[in-house]
Amino acid sequence: MQEARMTAMQRKLKIKWSDFVLALKLIDRAQIWIAICLLPLAMFMLLPLVYLFNHAFKPLHELFMFPPTFIVREPTSGNFTELFAMTESTIVPVSRYVFNSIVVTLLSSVAMVITGAMCAYPLSKHPFPGSKLVLGLIMLSLLFATEAIAIPRFIVIQSLGIMNTYLGHVLPLVAMPVGVFLLKQFMDQVPNELLEAAKIDGAKEFKIFLRIVMPIVTPAIATISILAFQSAWGNTETSTLFMQEDSMKTLPFYMSTLTAGLSNSVARQGAAAAGALIMFLPSLLIFLIFQRKVITTMAHSGIK
């Protein structure tokens, strides 16, 4: 019985080894050399992530060690304990800031994706007189710094009467020129014949947009979702300018108040390192979830 099992295992190993050898034969030598050349570059790009994770667990004497080290020698969770101890003395609980950040990030991300797609669709598939000018103005808006439009935004939000509301957080973030441009370029790859065939079958315009165009541009939507999430999650402008009540402010703003003025201070540097890691983790997780879609988008794959 044991001999039969051993022979069966040996056959499986032989089959797996033969498959591995066949896969190696199919790989082009040029691809192997490209992978070997890109491996050091990938490891170099990982260094900031390694440093950020290790920096959050360094004790105080390692935080100020010179020359600085990437790998922590004596890991400790005291930095996170210190950070949470600082939050206990606040009037507004930290859970309120976390809740505000989750609500604002979700609403803003959905709003940016929807408005970007609805703006890109007519620019791509229903060009109208002046459509190129509109697209040019949208791209021109990328040149304006945030500080240059802070006062006009404040006047608009105050005139609408949405100060200290979630809408005051979301509305300034809805416009996303990069998302419009990316979706427009991706929608250009959708064949017009496919849309005309759907119209002949009786599909309405909104149904074509929702059932045909949107599934095709899913990789681009995933990429825009990541960009929208990152911009909304790390945003402190709306909390600083439009929110006077502390209960309506977000976690990034709260973290910035905890770490403000610590650049030239020794105290609470561990808490600042822990806070930086906490703010970075959600963006990293979202990217890891949608990374395949991002690669697909950057390769401009789609229906040709």
Residue 26 lies in a domain: yes
Residue 79 lies in a domain: no
Residue 60 lies in a domain: no
Q: Which two tokens stand for residue 208?
A: 């074509």
What CATH number does the domain containing 148 carry? Answer: 1.10.3720.10
Domain span at residue 14?
1-46
Residue 20 lies in a domain: yes
* Cβ(285)–Cβ(236) below 8 Å: no
Both 27 and 143 in one domain: the answer is no
Both 186 and 108 in one domain: the answer is yes
Number of domains in the chain: 2
Residue 144 lies in a domain: yes
Residue 304 lies in a domain: no
Closest CA to 173 of 105, 99, 243, 97: 105
Residue 69 lies in a domain: no
Rounded-to-integer distance, Cα 300 and Cα 212, Å = 18
Residue 76 lies in a domain: no
Q: What string of pLDDT tens digits covers the 304 residues of the chain?
A: 444 454 555 454 444 555 555 555 555 666 777 778 888 888 888 888 888 888 888 887 777 777 777 788 888 887 888 777 776 767 777 778 888 999 999 999 999 999 999 999 998 888 888 888 988 888 888 888 777 888 888 898 889 888 888 988 898 888 888 888 888 888 888 888 888 888 888 888 888 888 888 888 888 888 888 888 888 888 888 888 888 888 888 888 887 777 665 555 566 777 778 878 888 888 888 888 777 666 665 555 444 4
Question: 91 phi and psi, to 5 degrees?
Answer: -70, -45
* 76-to-35, 99, 270, 274 alpha-carbon distances in Å: 36, 28, 10, 11
pTM of this prediction?
Answer: 0.75
| DSSP one-letter string for 226-263 | HHHHHHHHT--HHHHHT--SGGG--HHHHHHHHHTT-T
Both 143 and 209 in one domain: the answer is yes
Burial of 186 per CB tally in 10 Å (0-12, 13-18, 19+): buried
